[in-house]
Amino acid sequence: MKIIITYGTFDLFHVGHIRLLKRLRELGDKLIVGISSDEFNEIKGKKSFFSYEERAEILSSCKYVTEVFPENNWGQKRDDIIKYQADIFAMGDDWQGKFDELNDICEVVYLQRTKDISTTEIKRALSKVDNIELDRIESSLHDVIAIVKNLSFK
Give the catalytic positions in this structure.
44, 46
Q: Is 1 exposed, middle or buried (0-12, 13-18, 19+ CB in 10 A)?
A: exposed
CA distances from 5 to 46, 90, 150 (A): 22, 6, 53
Length reported for the chain? 154
Q: Is 6 exposed, middle or buried (0-12, 13-18, 19+ CB in 10 A)?
A: buried
Q: Is 46 exposed, middle or buried (0-12, 13-18, 19+ CB in 10 A)?
A: middle
